[in-house]
Amino acid sequence: MNHVRAGAGRNIRSAVESDNKMMKRRSGDRENRRKGKSLFPASPLSRFSGSRFSVPGFKAAGIACGIKHVPAGFKQGKNGNKDLAMIYSESAAVAAAVFTKNKVKAAPVLLDMQRLKKGLCQAIIINSGNANACTGKKGMEDAARMAATVEDVLGIKKGFVMVASTGVIGQNLPIDKIEKGISKLVSSLSAKGWNDAVHAIMTTDAFPKAVFEKCRLGGKEISVLGIAKGAGMICPDMATMLAFLATDAAIEQKTLQAMLKLSVDNSFNCITVDGDTSTNDTVLILANGKAGNKEVRSQKSGVRSKDYKTFSEMLERACLKLAKMVVMDGEGSTKLLKLHVSGAKTDSDAKKIAETVANSPLVKTAFFGEDANWGRIMAAIGRSGADMKQEKINVYFNNVPVVMKGQGAACKGQDREKMAAKAVKQKEVCIRIELGMGRGIATVWASDLSYEYVRINAAYRT
Round to whole Å and give the CA distance between 130 and 84.
11
d(CA 223, CA 249): 7
DSSP string, 167-205: EETT----HHHHHHHHHHHHHT-BTT-HHHHHHHT-SS-
Catalytic residue among 166, 240, 272, 282: 240
Any catalytic annotation for residue 135?
no
Query: What are the domain boundaries of the chain?
Result: 51-328, 336-458
Reported as a single tens digit per residue, the pLDDT across 178-234 is 999 999 999 999 999 999 999 999 987 888 999 999 999 999 999 999 999 976 544
State phi, psi for 169 to the nearest 5 degrees. -85, 145
Is residue 395 helix, strand or coil?
strand
d(CA 394, CA 340): 12
Give the separation between CA 68 and CA 81, rounded to whole angstroms: 7
| Helix locations, 266-368, DSSP H | 306-328, 347-359, 361-368
Q: Return the percent helix, strand and coil in the chain, to nearest 5.
A: 35, 25, 40
457 phi, psi to nearest 5 deg: -80, -25
CA-based nearest residue to 222, from 240, 200, 248, 204: 248
Considering the four listed CATH numbers 3.40.50.300, 3.60.70.12, 3.30.390.30, 3.30.420.140, the one that applies to the domain covering 51-328 is 3.60.70.12
Q: pLDDT per position in the chain (462 positions), as tens?
A: 444 344 434 433 443 444 444 444 444 444 554 444 444 434 444 444 555 789 999 999 999 999 986 555 555 554 468 999 999 999 999 999 999 888 899 999 999 999 999 999 999 999 999 999 999 999 999 999 999 999 999 999 999 999 999 988 899 999 999 999 999 999 999 999 999 999 999 987 888 999 999 999 999 999 999 999 976 544 443 335 799 999 999 999 999 999 999 999 999 888 876 544 567 889 999 999 999 999 999 876 455 689 999 999 999 999 999 998 888 876 677 889 999 999 999 999 999 999 999 999 999 999 999 999 999 999 999 999 999 999 999 999 999 999 999 999 876 656 878 899 999 999 999 999 999 999 999 999 998 888 877 776 676 555
Largest CA distance in the chain: 80
Question: Of 318, 321, 311, which is closest to residue 259 (Cα–Cα)?
Answer: 311
Please tell me the CATH superfamily of domain 336-458, with its number.
ArgJ beta chain, C-terminal domain (3.10.20.340)
Helices (H), 224-346: 253-265, 306-328
- Our measurement of the distance from residue 1's CA atom to the centroid of its chain's CA atoms, rounded to an integer in Å, reads 48
